[in-house]
Structures are given as C-alpha cells and as structure tokens.
Amino acid sequence: MSKKVTQIVEELVIPILSELQMELVDVEYVKEGKDWFLRVFIDSEKGVDIEDCGNVSEKLSEKLDEVDPIPYNYFLEVSSPGAERPLKKMSDYEKAIGKQVYVKTYEPIDGEKVFEGELASFDGSIVTINIMVKTRKKTVEIPVDKIANARLAVTFH
C-alpha cells in the first residue's frame, strides 16, 4: 500500500464533509487488543450531533466499500472531537487563540514538557501560551515542531 490508510480515508471523507459544510478534525487507524478501529473526528460551526455522525458514517462506509483500502476487519467510528479537541492543523491553532490549551513537547522548554494556559498567539511556527505560575503570569513560546501533542483544555473554576 503506497498511501497510508489515514491519507486514503481523508481523501474520501473531505468531499463528503465539504458537501455537508463540516470539517475533518482527525483520522485515526489503530489496533486496540485484537480489533482495528478507524476513527473519524468531524466538526462544524454549529457543532455535530448523532445524526450528523450517522450520515457521514453511512456515506463514508459506501466509499470505503468501493475503494477497500483496509485489508482487515475494522470498526468505523465517526464522532465529534469533544470539548478537548486536538490541535493538529494551523487553522486549529488560529481558532484556539484566547482559549485554554494543553501542550506537551518532545523536549523540555524552560525545564518543562507540559504547558497548560491561554493560547495568546500563533504565527505559523511559534505557539505563545500565557501560563500561571502560582500568582504570576508567564509567557512561553513553543516552536510548533517541538509539540508532541496539543489540545483544547477544559478548566473548572
């Protein structure tokens, strides 16, 4: 297989989502125990409900049956990314400015690898986060290529 399963699925699902005025957040193809799961996370400006997920699942399932890119039996799951949605694309970071985020880096920055705070800005290569250290606000700049994973963070006050 020259293309990864996730790439093929992205190519199949993006036209479906465009037609429905939705966006693709992420695609995962993972083995858990003895079972394979193909997970497609979708969102839209108005949010996503169970009907939306069912509709996309049905349309995508038809396309997957035609192309048949996966040699194993698998479970297809289409869902919303939830409140702690991952930040993967440049546009995800741009939309998250002003929101609480959780960022984990590959290597320490200022002696830390985990940062949680308000995403202050994003210039395409640097993520700037305002974090609270006890009672003091600190600004941290993190190069995007040093980020292992990032997501929106739910905070309780």
pLDDT number for residue 157: 57
pLDDT number for residue 42: 93
The answer on pLDDT for 155 being more than 80 is: no
Residue that the structure tokens 């939705």 belong to: 22
Quote the CA–CA distance of 24 and 83 in Å, as a whole number: 15
For the entire predicted model, the pTM comes to 0.72
Regarding the domain delimited by 5-79, which CATH topology (the fold level of the hierarchy) does it fall under? Answer: GMP Synthetase; Chain A, domain 3 (3.30.300)
List the domain boundaries for the chain.
5-79, 90-152
Residue that the structure tokens 């546009």 belong to: 91
> Nearest 5°: CA angle at 34, between 73 and 37?
50
Quote the CA–CA distance of 105 and 113 in Å, as a whole number: 5
Residue range 62-119, pLDDT digits in tens: 999 999 888 889 999 999 888 788 898 888 899 899 999 999 999 999 899 999 999 9
Per DSSP, the residues of 53-115 read: HHHHHHHHHHHHHHH---SS-EEEEEE---TT-B--SHHHHHHTTTSEEEEEEEEEETTEEEE
Which CATH code of 2.30.30.180, 3.40.50.720, 3.10.50.40, 1.10.3720.10 fits the domain covering 90-152? 2.30.30.180
Quote the CA–CA distance of 133 and 155 in Å, as a whole number: 16
Residue range 25-77, pLDDT digits in tens: 889 999 999 999 999 999 988 888 999 999 999 999 999 999 988 888 999 99
The answer on pLDDT for 144 being more than 70 is: yes
